[in-house]
Structure 1
Amino acid sequence: MRKPCRVSGSSNDLKYALCQIDFPVLTCLAASPYLIFQVELAFGLRVERPIQDQIWEDEVCELKVKLNNAHVFLGGELSCALHLFFLKGPANMNSAKPLVDPDGARLPIKLDTTSNGEFEPVPLSPVNQAANRLAHEAADKNSKRLAVSRRNFLISACGAASTLLAFNAANAAAGNAGGFFDLPIEAALDPELAQARIGGKGEFIFDVQGHFVDPNGAWLQKLAPGEKPLSQMPKTGCALASEPGSHSYLRCLGPDEFIKDVFLDSDTDMMVLSFVPSKPDAEPLTIQEADAVRRIVDRMEGMHRLLIHGRVNPNQEHDLDAMDELKERWSVSAWKTYTQFGPGGKGYFLSDDIGTRFIEKARKLGVKVICVHKGLPFGKRSYEHSQCSDIGVVAKRFPDVAFLVYHSGFVTTVPERAFEGRGAYDGIDTLIRSLIENGVSPNSNVYAELGSTWRYLMRDPEGAAHALGKLLKYCGENNVLWGTDSIWYGSPQDQIQAFRAFQIAPELRARYGYPEITPQLRARIFGLNAAKVYSISPEEVKKYTQRDRIARERLAYMEHPEPHFLTYGPKTRREFLNLPGAGQP
């Protein structure tokens, strides 16, 4: 039986949307950040978020929605069945025009200049520009051959395969043959074949490096008058940016977008929420706020999906003392540190006295996983501390501690080539050299993390082949970890799809002893290796993530997905310099 319709306000479209259906009005709006986002997107609305700790599920509630200068009050029982209605409308559920990028102007696999904010954006090479041009041309041609819109083609598996094949063509024309995306050309037009190659086979994907920005954090109070960090990012132009307040645009980068990008628009099962280098009073994300996001995910029955780091810079006053609270109160799963960061721009080595005190306290507290940023240097000051010379030293000294080397020591200005031992004084080679010199064998207690490294090297498949080949050879096939540094690069799905197809050329494997990236090895990198580090059972996690509310929402969402294919991080030098503390350790 149709329920009474209680709607006030000036929007006929919204009244129609709410009154012309034969079942309750609401669609878990108070329970689902994704559905809140979709209503805002479809109607240009601003939906007020539920108050913290409110019981969201199975309640009769009233939700205030602002439309222009009017207010609409939605009343009714919560129901999780209607989000497709908001996307497609009641008239024709199968033929609605896409709400995001309706003309298909954005490619699903992104080769661009986006940085994670820790390094200055690097312009695309002529080969990269040619790759993007070929991908756009292929999208036009292949969408017409399949008689679908360009947008619908690009959000399909065929669209992703077509894009990667275009990248192959551009690199092959330039003589870059050391790495490639292993796809048959038929995948651009055969949905089943494309899905089989880049859609995955249910592998466990555990991303050990994720980020988001708290849009209401105390860090905003530390900004200079008129300073608007991240305001030039494409994604900050969403509907939320029109709200009052000079920094309302940051809501476009907050927890709702994090959940949609990571758990709905990508195949990620689990993620570790990490931190950026900062002083305790100027953190874009505090431990309290990270915990709040974790609890949002928990309320969506996703209690097995999100872990958090504890940020520690032992050369910074009070950070060592704060480790007890991070462990006892916030249940951190690992420690995150930046050795190039410190008072007065002075960094430290893990092998220094202060670094040793940090490691020993981690051991004492029983959280023996230390994630350390290496590579992607912030600037020239304390540059030596961004390198990996200390990793082998402490790994040998503390064999019971797992050292996760974030970015693997990668430096954008250092071309990745085969490790030859001589002149290995920067980039990934400094990590390898440190392991060899200190007698740390492969598959020991040093792990190479791929956040930003893989994403950057997607533009250079031959460099990617050398980087991955070296890490797999010297760190070990069980010790390379999946990380994406999202949400700075938008949803991590394109990184996942590209890695599913990537292969090291047989010539490089034979010459340098690199392994073939088999499905079994790919699965280890995607998540099985990290699961061992964090003492997690992938089978147990999968049992929950296949049936929790996030999984149910994603299943419904995939009936009509709306990925935005946008990135969040700076793309130009000006945008980079607009970040607080850009280029400074």
Structure 2
Amino acid sequence: MSRRQFMISSCGAANVLMALNAAGAAAGEIGGVFALAPDAAVDPAAAAATLASDDFIFDVQNHAVNPTGPWRRRASGLRLAKSMRGATDAGKAWTAADDELGYLNLLDGEHYVKDVFLDSDTQMAVMSVLSVDHDDEPLPIQDAAAVRALVDRLGSGRRLLLHGKILPNHAGDLDRMEAFKTQWGVSAWKLYTQLPGEGSSGYRLDDEALMTPFVEKSRRLGIDIVCAHKGFRFGSGDPAFATCHDVGRAARLYPDMKFLIYHGGYDKDGIEGPYDPDRAEIGINTLVKSLQDNGIAPNANVYAELGATWRQLMTRPDQAAHAWGKLLKHVGEDNVLWGTDCIWYGSPQDQIQAFRAFQFSESFRERHGYPELTPALKAKIFGLNAARVYKVDVPGTRRRLDRDALSLAREGYLAEADPSFLTYGPKSMAEFRALQRSGH
């Protein structure tokens, strides 16, 4: 086969993961490893034995944009659009000088369907929102519903669920909640505690003056899922509000609510090591300490999602092992959820294949009490845990999805697959030089 065909095959993926193993070992990082048979690099069956599976994959953090929406016409929205160039795979590879923001077209609903439901093994997903005011939202609720309708036309049954963004520290924002539920059918709320409000640079999940009215209204509307961005600090607001110090107390105050901590509290400005309560200023340690200080046991009402976190750590074996290990040990094996933060990174298939192969080293398991990443545990993380949270009947859903038009389209597509990285990335030395000159 050609080199390009080889690189999109299971053997190509196995080669990349085995190269990462070698690089990690050379750097002395042995806490995590991509466990593959030695002949997986050249034997498709050996590669597929690890990198392919029929797990139910439910991705609880996806994104898309409306490239021509009104958000683009606001100065703040335009700044956001330009920032996506350096923050998304599509933007980094965009070189067309005559259309500076043309990469946004690669992040729309149709590309989303291709990247997530054709180019990956994902079967269900949740469309989330961004850390901006409603007017700057690149995919406001009506556009998110349009993407859901696009997916529904291709598939029978619910494949795509929606978040409703609520800003409790903005006056009157709770008034949006009823329409989000009754008109748009959202399944959960998304909160950004670091996002400034009137007279505040952020808020805490345990701020009873703000959160109690929000929780009471959530209860009346029958939604008990609260997804909170924690970690991955961004430019606006006080970064202290991005930490997880408030999570445990909020979980204790509102025991009937499910708190899904997005990114697991991971902060890329820190280094994930073993849990140390004396080193819990940022990162996953803040989440663990908050739970322990407030008596929140594993597998209670706090959940951890790994969108963008796993992608950041796939090439850092020790940190990856500590991040997964701490969450599984302290948040609970039933409460760790799969998320990828795609479409920002194109198809999530690379993240899926890498996690299928990932294992903790035996020395790390013994030293830190981390569980073995068995097929059964990975199946929970990939989708079964989220299905329980969102009350998805997995056997019934799989029966419907296996027969729908999207599954049939994927079967035909895979015969001549054209993954997005072939479109986004340079395919010749001239294209590579152009990309290099672009500064991205």
TM-score normalised per structure 1: 0.69
What is the distance in 1 between the residues matched to 2:92 and 2:270?
Answer: 34
Q: Which residue of 2 aligns with 1:458?
A: 314
What is the distance in 2 between the residues matched to 1:168 and 1:314?
Answer: 45
Q: Which runs of 4+ in 1 moved over 4 A?
A: 224-228, 231-234, 236-239, 244-249
Q: Which residue of 2 aligns with 1:297?
A: 151
Q: Which residue of 2 aligns with 1:175?
A: 28
- 1:215 matched to 2:71: no
What is the distance in 2 between the residues matched to 1:252 and 1:383?
Answer: 31
What is the distance in 2 between the residues matched to 1:465 and 1:299?
Answer: 40
What is the distance in 1 between the residues matched to 2:153 and 2:236?
Answer: 44
What is the distance in 2 between the residues matched to 1:532 and 1:376?
Answer: 26
Contact 1:234–1:566 (8 Å) recurs in 2: no
What is the distance in 1 between the residues matched to 2:416 and 2:189?
Answer: 39
Residues 258/423 of structure 1: CA separation in 2 closer, same or farther (3 Å cut): same
Q: Which residue of 2 aligns with 1:106?
A: none
How big is the alpha-carbon RMSD for the aligned residues of Structure 1 and Structure 2? 2.5
What is the distance in 1 between the residues matched to 2:307 and 2:116?
Answer: 14
Residue from 344, 348, 355 that aligns with 2:203: 348
SS at match of 1:451: coil
Residues 575/409 of structure 1: CA separation in 2 closer, same or farther (3 Å cut): farther
What is the distance in 2 between the residues matched to 1:490 and 1:363?
Answer: 36
Q: Which residue of 1 aligns with 2:169?
A: 315
Give the C-alpha shift of residue 356 in structure 1.
Answer: 2.4
1:238-277 alignment runs, 5 A limit: 247-277=101-131
Residue from 193, 205, 225 that aligns with 2:57: 205
Amino acid aligned to 1:176:
E
SS at match of 2:227: strand
Contact 2:272–2:322 (8 Å) recurs in 1: yes
What is the distance in 1 between the residues matched to 2:31 and 2:157?
Answer: 41
Residues 422/291 of structure 1: CA separation in 2 closer, same or farther (3 Å cut): same
What is the distance in 1 between the residues matched to 2:392 and 2:76?
Answer: 43
SS at match of 1:310: strand
Give the C-alpha shift of residue 364 in structure 1.
Answer: 2.0
Q: Which residue of 1 aligns with 2:369?
A: 513
Q: What CA deviation, in whole Å up to 9, does each residue of 1:89-109 have, x standing for no partner? A: xxxxxxxxxxxxxxxxxxxxx
Amino acid aligned to 1:423:
R
Q: What CA deviation, in whole Å up to 9, does each residue of 1:547-572 have, x standing for no partner? A: 1111001000111111122799xx99
What is the distance in 1 between the residues matched to 2:395 and 2:331?
Answer: 25
Residues 234/395 of structure 1: CA separation in 2 closer, same or farther (3 Å cut): closer
- 1:152 matched to 2:5: yes
Residues 226/394 of structure 1: CA separation in 2 closer, same or farther (3 Å cut): closer
What is the distance in 2 between the residues matched to 1:199 and 1:308?
Answer: 28
Give the C-alpha shift of residue 541 in structure 1.
Answer: 1.3
1:327-338 alignment runs, 5 A limit: 327-338=181-192
Contact 1:271–1:305 (8 Å) recurs in 2: yes
Contact 2:59–2:122 (8 Å) recurs in 1: yes
Q: Which residue of 1 aligns with 2:230?
A: 374
Amino acid aligned to 1:191:
P
What is the distance in 2 between the residues matched to 1:236 and 1:401?
Answer: 37
1:459-474 alignment runs, 5 A limit: 459-474=315-330
TM-score normalised per structure 2: 0.91
Contact 1:272–1:308 (8 Å) recurs in 2: yes
Q: What CA deviation, in whole Å up to 9, does each residue of 1:59-116 have, x standing for no partner? A: xxxxxxxxxxxxxxxxxxxxxxxxxxxxxxxxxxxxxxxxxxxxxxxxxxxxxxxxxx
Q: Percent identity?
A: 49
Contact 2:196–2:236 (8 Å) recurs in 1: no
Higher helix share: 2
SS at match of 1:308: strand
SS at match of 1:565: helix
What is the distance in 2 between the residues matched to 1:273 and 1:224?
Answer: 22
Give the C-alpha shift of residue 224 in structure 1.
Answer: 7.1
Give the C-alpha shift of residue 383 in structure 1.
Answer: 1.6
Q: Which residue of 2 aligns with 1:439?
A: 295
What is the distance in 1 between the residues matched to 2:31 and 2:288?
Answer: 20
Amino acid aligned to 2:90:
K
Q: Which residue of 2 aligns with 1:501?
A: 357
Structure 2 residue runs of 5 or longer lacking an equivalent are 425-434
Q: Which residue of 1 aligns with 2:215?
A: 359
SS at match of 1:207: strand
What is the distance in 2 between the residues matched to 1:434 and 1:225?
Answer: 35
Q: Which residue of 2 aligns with 1:185?
A: 38
| Structure with greater Cα Rg | 1
Q: What CA deviation, in whole Å up to 9, does each residue of 1:231-261 have, x standing for no partner? A: 566635999x89x987554222111110000
SS at match of 1:422: coil
Contact 1:186–1:193 (8 Å) recurs in 2: yes
What is the distance in 2 between the residues matched to 1:167 and 1:266?
Answer: 21
SS at match of 1:546: helix
Residues 245/464 of structure 1: CA separation in 2 closer, same or farther (3 Å cut): closer
Give the C-alpha shift of residue 391 in structure 1.
Answer: 0.7
What is the distance in 2 between the residues matched to 1:224 and 1:518?
Answer: 46
SS at match of 1:405: strand
Amino acid aligned to 1:535:
K
Amino acid aligned to 2:343:
I
What is the distance in 2 between the residues matched to 1:381 and 1:316?
Answer: 14
Contact 1:391–1:434 (8 Å) recurs in 2: yes
Amino acid aligned to 1:392:
G
1:564-575 alignment runs, 5 A limit: 564-565=420-421
What is the distance in 2 between the residues matched to 1:388 and 1:575?
Answer: 35
Q: What CA deviation, in whole Å up to 9, does each residue of 1:508-566 have, x standing for no partner? A: 11111100000000000000000000001111111111111110010001111111227
Contact 1:489–1:567 (8 Å) recurs in 2: no
Structure number with greater CO (CA < 8 Å, separation at least 6) is: 2
Amino acid aligned to 2:292:
I
Amino acid aligned to 1:151:
R
Structure 1 residue runs of 5 or longer lacking an equivalent are 1-147, 577-585
Q: Which residue of 2 aligns with 1:522?
A: 378
Residues 458/203 of structure 1: CA separation in 2 closer, same or farther (3 Å cut): same
What is the distance in 2 between the residues matched to 1:311 and 1:234?
Answer: 25
Q: What CA deviation, in whole Å up to 9, does each residue of 1:432-472 have, x standing for no partner? A: 00000000000001000000111101010110101111000
Q: Which residue of 2 aligns with 1:384?
A: 240
What is the distance in 1 between the residues matched to 2:130 and 2:77?
Answer: 23
Amino acid aligned to 1:197:
T
Residues 224/514 of structure 1: CA separation in 2 closer, same or farther (3 Å cut): closer
